Amino acid sequence: MRFMIIIKASQDSEAGVMPSQELLTAMGNYNEELVKAGIMLAGEGLHPSSKGARVKFSGGKHTVIDGPFIETKELIAGFWLWKVKSKEEAIEWVKRCPNPMPGTEAEIEIRQVFEAEDFGAEFTPELREQEERVWEQAKKN
């Protein structure tokens, strides 16, 4: 099972406050543990929403909204993509994580990633083949 581990933003991360050397070291060590355990597939920190944008879809119309975005609790400061046996295993690994927002309350969300089998009959053999082609090309890029 794959899970997206979402590090919620804080006022500091949204203000562009960079992590300390101590936190970078702790996170580097934690990431090393994840890789050695064969769990981590990807992981990155994100710039503040002031450097981002949202695209709103309404019918056939697209509206671009530039950041920053007001609700910090709804924003993401970083993520990991993990492959683990269960949600419970993901929870146990998150509990070992250094506090990503030292000096403040932090929150990490755990969400399971859809797999091809989750889509049922609507995900036809042709669509599965297309997805495999797309991911093979993406790996080459």
- Count CA atoms within 13 Å of residue 98 on its CB side: 19
pLDDT digits (tens, 9 = 90+) for 77-112: 999 999 999 999 999 999 999 999 998 889 999 999
- Distance from C-alpha of 26 to C-alpha of 32, rounded to nearest angstrom: 10
Q: What pairing do the DSSP bridges indicate for beta strands 53-58 and 61-66?
A: antiparallel
* pLDDT value at 17 more than 90: yes
Q: Report CA-CA distances (Å) from 48 to 9, 15, 27, 84.
A: 8, 7, 19, 29
**54 and 65 Cβ atoms separated by less than 8 Å:** yes
Average pLDDT over residues 112-135: 94
* pLDDT value at 76 more than 90: yes
Q: What are the chain's domains?
A: 2-114 (3.30.70.1060)
- In the block, residue with structure tokens 């119309």: 61
The band of 46, judged by pLDDT with boundaries at 50, 70 and 90, is very high
Which pLDDT does position 73 carry in this prediction?
A: 78
